[in-house]
Amino acid sequence: MQTHEIARRFTDHFTGTGHTRVASASLILDDPTLLFVNAGMVQFKPYFLGDAPAPYPRATSIQKCVRTGDIDEVGRTTRHNTFFQMAGNFSFGDYFKEGAIEHAWRLITSSTSDGGYGLDPDRIWVTVFHDDDEAAGLWQRIAGIPAERIQRRGMADNYWSMGVAGPCGPCSEIYYDRGPQYGREGGPVVDEDRYLEIWNLVFMEKERAAGGTKDDFPIIGELPAKNIDTGLGIERVAYLLQGVDNVYETDLVRPVITRAEELSGRRYGASHEDDVRFRVIADHARSGVMIIGDGVTPSNDGRGYVLRRLLRRIVRSSRLLGVQEPVLGAFAEVVRDEMAPSYPELVTDFERISAVVRAEEEAFLQTLTAGSRIFDVAVADTRRAGGTTLAGDQAFQLHDTYGFPIDLTLEMAAEAGLTVDQDRFAALMTEQRTRAKADAAARKTGHHDGSVYRPLLDAHGTTTFLGYTELAAEGTVVGLVVDGAAVPAASEGQQVEVVLDRTPFYAEAGGQQADHGVLRTGSAIVRIDDVQSPVAGLRVHRGTVEAGTVAVDDAVVAEVDVARRASISRAHTATHLVHAGVRGALGTAAAQAGSLNAPGRLRFDFTSPSGAVPAAALAEIEEEVNTKLQENREVETYETSMDEARRLGAMMLFGEKYGDRVRVVDMGDYSRELCGGTHVARTGELGIVKVLSEASIGSGVRRVEALVGNDALRQVSTEHLLLSQISDQLKARPDELPDRIAALVERLRTAERDLEKHRADAALGAAGALADGAEDVAGIALVAVAAPAGVSGNDLRALAADVRGRLGDRPGVVALFGTDGDKVSFVVATTAAARDRGLAAGKLIPAFAPAVGGRGGGKPDLAQGGGQNPAGVPDAIAALRSALAAG
């Protein structure tokens, strides 16, 4: 049975039994505890917690999921996918254990002609939480599963939670026995490869707090209702029903392997090592494309880093399969074709997706080239120091600066006959991770755990936002939080978070910075410098009590800092105009990837299919935007249905979760976007928009920065002033400056080259004097000296050869030492007559090299080496002299 058919039957089964079909959420949901959506229940979390009323009593979805915790297992086991589809049915206080078990049993065991999966009931095993007699009894009664195929397990296996604060509950898992050829008897507690888990039924009835371990975490109470959350792994069912050996060979994944076989000329199934590579490619290609589809671009942290790692592992695996040319575009096409029936947006967005993978591959290939050079130097250093282990610091630098995966470093080191200090590398990685975690925690202080805010939401409902029309308003304090705990009052000097029933303050969202301002009660003043929305619907004002004491239930006048707000609104409107301008100039593949609207300035990030935006195009965008200001267009905002907004062609962001009603910001036919931000009334209020720069901020993503209004004007004046100063200094008109500066730079270059040549000539010119100064040591003409300053490398060799030539047919030895900082290099040359007497240059080195802390080698006529002790040069010369004297 094809994967799409498995999904279709699941949906049909549940919509046929009163479940509302809900579309998959984006892989990126606004949940600070999650990098990617990793279970079907994530989008329903507020309904389980009672933060929002469930719009339907029962629902079903096929959710896109990404889990990368076991990335190293991919391709090595039969069942680890980084991307998979979780089919689920959910009950919000409707049916409970009995209903969940009945539904699951019917779907998996009904015959295929009856719309089920037709699994053999006798091969099904289940697990239940150790004290869940009720579930065990239901499995016996409803499904007739004998007691010996019902196994009990503890917290770690059969009590499900998201691993963080949130809903949780005991669960019951359904397994299918693949048969004795796949492992030992004894059920899932003995062998999870033979007994394959396909479906997890969670009896979601409790709430947990953060902390604890997987098998012991704090449970803080009951959820408002008893709910059901189930998750069936579509790929796993496909793997069973299609009779293949693992999840990588199922119908939607295997075609990538086939493409990799074509590109590499190697065959899947021929060697274990190659097979793992083929499967890594197939798995990662799919997750990579799906993640990019939801708007993520490769970067060095967070989601972008996970994506980068996935894509780079594909490129790397392909190299190891012997493919040299770019591969990502080809694999992305296969994924698109396989996944499009369920995700048609992959087709419409494909230009953007392939631009992102192409740019990342190009960047990685450059990395490989640059990193390989650094690697070669590191190997040479290690060898020169007589070591066999590459330093952990070097491996870390390769990883951190050049994006070299550690397995690549390990492999290349092995090829060079070296090992790598992996302990040190791991220690540095841990240090870096700890730093990153601390950074993330600092950014989101107090925001991880919504438990302090949720009671406020329960008691008072959402904060009414008045700020589209009002900048000052009366309200009531409904909650105060100090240091993460609810308090009845806060007094002068304290940092406080204030929740009001209604507010004109805009909370940071959609790239628009938060409002600042003051809250005044009869007796207190609180200065607000941040506003956030840590739980959906609640606006939390953060600030300092400047005077008096503020208490819950106080009446407040909330006043927004009007100048700051106006300036931010101008920037936000300007961002929409720049967005429209960029798309007009570059086409619709230039999709918004992020933005910042701050007082007087903006940043707009977008995926660029064709790399850097040429300066001329940027100037045109700027001019077009300013024309729209002069047209003084009306900026209209209105609410409408999502369908209508789509029909109007409003731009929306990838990965954003919109409700059924959306707010549109409309500047006529030029710009129309879904947006919750604040804007000016007419474009003329912006005055002027000045684009400052355009640059890359990561693979395929460009950033435009611009200033708005007086900030733009000040920038123009400052630049004008600078230009006048330079013009004065160079005594040229501004329009002559580019030529003038180019000419100056050229003259400087020529002068530097001449100087360099003179220096080299002078140094080489010393050859005659050096040869004349040869001393006689036991009948041998010896020139052993420190070379003139600045002579090293090729010059040193050339000078030695020149001096040797001037010794003619005398037996002669020339040894020159060049020093550079704390390094010494030396060259030894012998004349033919000296060699006739058995003096070989390479053999002379051990006699004196230890004095400069070094070594070297070479041929009888010319040898060289280096050391670390410049102070030892006189000793080295003396040692050479004695060696010759001793014959």
Annotated binding-site residue numbers:
572, 576, 675, 679
Query: Phi then psi for 679, rounded to 5 degrees?
Result: -140, 170
Q: Which residue is nearest to ligand SER (CB)?
A: 231
Residue 231 or 581 having the CB closest to ligand SER: 231
Other beta carbons less than 10 A from residue 668's beta carbon: 13
DSSP reduced 3-state for 60: strand
* Coil, strand or helix at 13: helix
Note whether 715 and 691 are within 8 A (CB).
no
> In terms of CB distance, is 202 or 310 closer to ligand SER?
202
Judged by CB, which is closer to ligand SER: 37, or 877? 37
Question: With respect to ligand SER, which residue has the nearer C-beta, 117 or 160?
Answer: 160
How many contiguous H segments (helices) and E segments (strands) does the chain have? 26, 35
Min dist. Cβ of residue 41 to ligand SER (A): 5
Q: 202 vs 332, which CB is nearer to ligand SER?
A: 202
- Least distance in Å: CB of 626 to ligand SER? 52
Counting every residue, how long is the chain?
887
**Pairing label, strands 780-786, 812-820:** parallel
CA-to-CA distance for 374 and 377, rounded, in angstroms? 5
Q: In this complex, which beta carbon is closest to ligand SER, that of residue 172 or of residue 354?
A: 172
Amino acid sitting at position 293: G
Distance CA 63, CA 27 (A): 9
- Give the nearest distance from C-beta 89 to ligand SER in angstroms: 9
Q: Return the SS3 of 867.
A: strand
**Shortest distance (Å) from residue 822 CB to ligand SER:** 59
Kindly report the three-state secondary structure assignment for every residue of 802-823. HHHHHCCCCCEEEEEEEEECCE
As a three-state string, the secondary structure of 390-428 is: ECHHHHHHHHHHHCCCHHHHHHHHHHCCCEECHHHHHHH
41 vs 263, beta carbon nearer ligand SER: 41
Residue number with CB closer to ligand SER (145 or 171)? 171
Q: Strands of 812-820's sheet, edge to edge?
A: 775-777, 780-786, 812-820, 823-830, 862-867, 854-858
SS3 at position 332: helix
User: Minimum CB separation from ligand SER for residue 84, in Å?
Assistant: 11
* The pair of three-digit structure tokens given for residue 224, joined into one six-digit string: 């408002």
Alpha-carbon gap, residue 376 to 368, rounded angstroms? 12
| Closest separation in Å from C-beta 160 to ligand SER | 5
**Which CB sits closer to ligand SER, 173 or 802?**
173
Collapsing DSSP to helix, strand or coil, 695 comes out as: strand
Q: Which is nearer to ligand SER, 201 or 807 (CB)?
A: 201
Nearest approach, Cβ of residue 315 and ligand SER (Å):
31
Q: Which of 645, 705, 647 is nearest to 675 (CA)?
A: 645
CB of 483 to ligand SER, least distance (A): 33
- C-alpha 223/C-alpha 48 separation (Å) is 7
Applying CB under 6 A, the residues found at the interface with ligand SER are 39-41, 88, 160, 200, 202, 229-231
Cβ proximity to ligand SER: between 61 and 567 the closer is 61
Nearer to ligand SER (CB atom), residue 205 or residue 229? 229
677, 661, 328, 708: which is closest to 506 by C-alpha? 677
Long-range contacts of 873-879 (CB under 8 A, 24+ apart): 873/786, 873/817, 873/819, 873/824, 875/848, 875/851, 876/817, 876/826, 876/848, 876/849, 876/851, 876/852, 877/784, 877/785, 877/815, 877/817, 877/848, 878/851, 879/847, 879/848, 879/851
d(CA 327, CA 331): 6
Q: State residue 318 phi and psi, 5-degree precision.
A: -65, -40
Closest distance of CB 722 from ligand SER, Å:
59
Q: Are the C-beta atoms of 713 and 687 separated by less than 8 Å?
A: yes
Q: 822 burial class (0-12, 13-18, 19+ CB within 10 angstroms)?
A: exposed
Q: How far is the CB of 443 from ligand SER (least distance, A)?
A: 27
Task: Tell me the binding residues for Zn(2+).
Answer: 572, 576, 675, 679
Closest by Cα among 521, 523, 533, 532 to 558? 521
Distance CA 346, CA 335 (A): 9
Please state the closest distance from residue 227 (CB atom) to ligand SER, in A.
Answer: 11
Q: Is the dihedral of CA 623, 629, 634, 638 positive or negative?
A: positive
Answer for the pair 63, 691: CB distance below 8 angstroms, yes or no. no
Residue 20 vs 372, nearer CB to ligand SER: 20
Here the tokens at position 158 are: 């059969």
Q: Smallest gap, in angstroms, from Cβ of residue 228 to ligand SER?
A: 9
CA distance 543 to 561: 14
* Nearest distance, CB of residue 122 and ligand SER, angstroms: 25
- The CA distance from 593 to 702, in Å, is 9
Alpha carbons 153 and 136: distance in angstroms, whole number: 12
Check: CB of residue 399 under 8 Å from CB of residue 409.
yes
Q: Are 54 and 47 within 8 A, CB to CB?
A: yes
To the nearest whole angstrom, how small is the minimum distance from the Cβ of residue 106 to ligand SER? Answer: 18
**Minimum gap (Å) between residue 198 Cβ and ligand SER:** 11
Task: Choose between 41 and 514: whose C-beta lies nearer to ligand SER.
Answer: 41
Closer to ligand SER by Cβ: residue 171 or 629: 171
